[in-house]
Chain A
Amino acid sequence: MPHPHQKNLLTSVQMAHFVATGSLRMDAVVPDEMNQQAIEVLKAGIPGVPYGTPLSEAFVDTEFVQRLVQLPEVAGAIHSLVGPEPTVDHHAVHIRKANEGEAQNLHGDAIIDVRPDAFDVQLMYYPQDVTLEMGGTLSVPGSHLRRTNESDTGRYQNLLGQTRLVCPAGTVQFLHHGIWHGGRKNDSSIDRYMFKIRFNPTVRQVRLWNVEDLYDPEVARELDQSFPWYENATGRLEKYNRIKLWQALTGDDTFDPEFWVTRVSNRPQRVVAQRSLNPHASKKEMA
């Protein structure tokens, strides 16, 4: 895959948004002409890809998917998040049938994954307009750093501030591997299609985006945001973990604008001698 143009890479503010929320949404980024073809292509099925196939080799026989991942904005986001030549973990066509009576439990994909300085992303492409009734993917902003395993979160039906995806045709969202999500019940008379690809990075994920705005104050604001479903106390731990991830992604372990990490790691080693035992100290008391 060619290196994306700088203008199509994500900005630092967008990356900080991803680190805080666990997702990045691009509305109607896929052209209508492709969206029109998509349903037939997805109905026919996308041939399987062995785990770990380089992206440039994964879809050589599926021209539609090649075009999808080579759209300038999509390629720029993939590069920014997981770097050049990621491997394809797996892909899948998800169909929520019309008037389908079941919602998926809230879950994270694969198994518990606690890598502190690396992450996979999942591209989700929606070729149709998705209405609330069509059961667009449920996801929970800021849930991606929670250490839970797959569907152990199935007891949680609704969380305050959750996202029930409603989007125009051609929308792509990128989700961090850990985000809590699920396909919602489709109460409409239209089958809903979504195509997903999971990417694994093959390089260290450090400063892969357009870093010109690395110290824009908006970066700190993105990283410091809270979400309505956070408990008061745990919400602060979320910010601690977010800053640790941002430090890993930027290679700058001094970035900590709200002092969440610095405060609890401050263990000074300098010892101040007692004044009475210091032969160099003046015997006169300070005024």
Chain B
Amino acid sequence: MTATSAVPGETGQQTVRQQVLVLYLASSALDARVVGWSTYDGTGATHPTTGDSDVPPYASGLDALKDGWRLFQAAQLLPPFPGHEYDVSFLKHEFFFEKLVTV
């Protein structure tokens, strides 16, 4: 899908693409340390993939905000299902960020 936006002060229209950063944090606090990360680049300029880096892009979720990433989704805090209190499964503290990039 192509999103377009009128840019104030310019007569033409510019095309905007979304870059998505997913951070997994050590607790539900947004300033907790990053334990996992994924990126998806809607501009097509980069091609992040599985196992391409050992170093997280930010130390915490807050650091991503400071660098201009906009938070648009955070994982809910859900109580465990009765009888499954000790089960481990997916990472719980998942935060989705975006940057809108004009291409």
Contact = CB atoms under 8 A, between A and B. Distances in A.
Which of B24, B25, B53 has the most CB atoms of chain A within a 10 A radius of its CB?
B24
Interface in A200-257: 228-234, 237-238, 240-241
Contacts of A241: 86, 88
A230 B52 contact: no
Given A158-B37, A229-B36, A231-B93, A182 B88 contact: no
Interface of A is mostly: loop
Interface of B is mostly: loop
Interface residues of B, number: 28
Contact of A105 (B36, B50, B89): B50
A156 B88 contact: no
B56 A231 contact: no
Size category of the A interface is 35 or more
A160 B51 contact: no
B48 to A, nearest CB: 6
Contacts of A160: 34-36, 54, 56
Contact of B38 (A145, A157, A229, A231): A157
B91 A231 contact: yes
Given A146-B89, A234-B88, A157 B54 contact: no
B90 A146 contact: yes
A36 interface: no
A158 B88 contact: no
Interface string A146-169: 111000111111111010100000
Interface in B36-56: 36-39, 48-54, 56
Contacts, number: 99
Interface of A: 102-106, 135, 138, 145-148, 152-160, 162, 164, 182, 184-185, 228-234, 237-238, 240-241
A164 B25 CA distance: 21
Contacts of B39: 157
Interface string B74-103: 000000000000111111110000000000
Given A102-B49, A231-B24, A231-B35, 12 more contacts: A103-B52, A146-B90, A147-B89, A159-B35, A160-B34, A164-B54, A182-B51, A185-B51, A229-B35, A231-B26, A231-B27, A231-B93
Which of B36, B49, B50 has the most CB atoms of chain A within a 10 A radius of its CB?
B50
Given A185-B52, A231-B26, A231-B27, A155 B89 contact: no
B22 interface: yes
Nearest to A101: B47
A228 B27 contact: no
Contact of A103 (B32, B49, B91): B49
Nearest to A102: B49
5 contacts: A103-B49, A156-B91, A160-B34, A230-B35, A234-B88
